[in-house]
Structure 1
Amino acid sequence: MLIWIIFALMTGASVLAVLWPLGRRQPALFADTAGATALYRAQLAEIDRDLGRRMIGEGEAAAAKAEAARRLLRAADAEPAPEGESEPSLRRRRAASAIALSCVPLVALLIYGAQGSPTLPDQPLAARLKGSPNGQDFGIAVARIEAHLAANPSDGKGWAVLAPVYLRIGRYDDAAKAFASAIRHGTPSAELHAGQAEAMILAAGGVVTAAAREELAAATRLEPANPRARFFLAIAQEQDGDAGKAIAAFKALLADAPKDAPWAAAVRSRLSQLEARPDPDAAAAIAAMPQGDRDTAIRGMVEGLAARLAESGGTLPEWSRLIRSQMVLGDKEAAGRSLATARQRLAEDKAALDALAALAAETGLKEAAQ
């Protein structure tokens, strides 16, 4: 409220400073006829002196006196000029000035109320850094931090603030360097090492490089339960071709996750994708079995998948694989039940429902699943 009072006082003082001289009556021009008469008399005296010194002739002096006399007569006979402008004109000028100067602050206030943010609360730097990176204010804040770190490169806390920002806006190489500077000039922590590893992995297109593995190892040494480090170590096992260990690592991470962990959804998605892949070793072993044993093994795998999905749900690829497998085995009734259950479990996913409808039409389950 105080700021609005200050603005009002400043605006009033500015308007008054402009209106004060505009509201005064202008001085009259040529109102002093006595002064004009004295001037012309001085001219006549000057002509007589020039004639006495023989600087001009008789004829020139007579002509000059006649002209001066005419001017003297006009000045003496002229009516006094009015003092300043007329009262109606003065009122019009005052009114026009007052309206113009009053409209300027009023229009400015209306524009600020419509386009500005008079009710926006203060936003400290830390709050702005946690917000969306698309705004101009965010870019200015990042530029200021960069300028500060350019002048103070050993500020470990500054690097620790800037590194996650770089990571969030996709500047992965800069993020890796910033995390390294935060570790070098500040206090090493599991989050800093894991953050540097993530930046390296993203900069490498998702590949867990040897340098990233070293940072992940450093993070787990400082904090064995660090979820970010464990997640990327599981991905490293997956990339090494050890799907079993990767699945076990993802499941252990989910078992230790808090109920409201924001990263749990990403872990579940990765685990589902990994579990949906066929095991090459198991497929080769089944293929080498006799026909009867092979059919029994396949049926057992399909029944196990059906039991797991019915109990805990699954992804669209898992449900699709189950339905197709049941159709291959000739169990159309079970495939129809699986399709109906999949539609219930994935009811919030429109794209998944469309995919299931296409699968039902493809396999001839459309009528059974309606």
Structure 2
Amino acid sequence: MLLWIAFSLMTGAAILAVLWPLRSVAAGVPAAASAAEADLAVYRDQLAEIERDREAGLIGAAEGEAARTEVARRILRASAEAEQQKAASKGADTRRRAAAIIALIGVPAMAGGLYLFLGSPLYPPQPLAQRLEARPDQTDIAILIRKVETHLEANPNDGRGYEVVAPIYSRLGRLDDAARAWSNAIRLLGSNATRQTGLGEALTTQAGGVVTAEAKAAFQAALAADAKDPKARYFLGLAAEQDGKPAEAGRIWGALAADSPPDAPWLGLVRESMARVGAAPAPAGAVAGAPGPNAADVAAAESLTPEQRSQMVRGMVERLETRLAEDGNDIEGWLRLMRAWNVLGEAEKAKAAAGEARAHFAKDEGALGRIDALARELGLGS
């Protein structure tokens, strides 16, 4: 019922919008015609007055005739104008009637036809909440976000909800909301690398690319949870660069490049950053075909018996160690040796390999930075 009342009011408003200008047009035409009629009446009075003055001898016959001629000319002109105004009034009346018919019949008919074609009075109301419930697979990002926000308003301690919506806020540029959501997720669910790097990245982007103290603390917390987190390591290198410590930034990025697989998506950015601070480029991951165990070799050894696995891995480590004793200029080999001894549980041998590596690269600041970074990562100390 309310729908039809609304439709009636809108239709009435549309008709009024059409008819109201016609009112002023209709009033203007009779006014012009009445003015012409008034002029004719004045001119007729002037003729009668001229005739009375002539009979009374107030004006001469020649003067009276001239005055009558002038007034007669004016009467003819006023009569012509009156006829034109009447014709115009008749045409305006016709157009007014046509416009009124269109407004009274055409507008409602057109509106009703469009509604029957595009809509239906049988559709029930569809509030946003009901639409969200009826369409859980809705792909409209705004509706999805609103659904999560409504849920969080009712359940403010749902950390998982904050964790879900936080990266969406970041992609939409809602950085204040993203940082707040990550903070709530950390508060409710605890700290981990993903949440801390999300918070740090949101704060950094919010600051225009500057790693603020709060963002740096978040990245350090992420690294404490996962020492290999590439995003946290990159941004900590960026923080060092922004603090005026290019050598430290180069060491951090060099270690990250060394630990990254060759197809890592972030490797190009890391190498560009290293070039920016003047650090020597470092190859990523293990060198193909290089002797010595790498992570893949150790993983493959897990399919063997304990005795076979120990024999295979130790043989590879010993061959690498022998080669490095002959040619100790292979920084990648030393890093692999340190990792291999650490995987085998030989912390002392891994620490000794780190010491030998430092001796070989005592004058190479970049190599020393990579060795120290790996030693800290493996818990070998300085």
Normalised TM-score (structure 2): 0.36
Which one scores higher on RCO, CA 8 angstroms, separation ≥ 6?
A: 2
Normalised TM-score (structure 1): 0.37
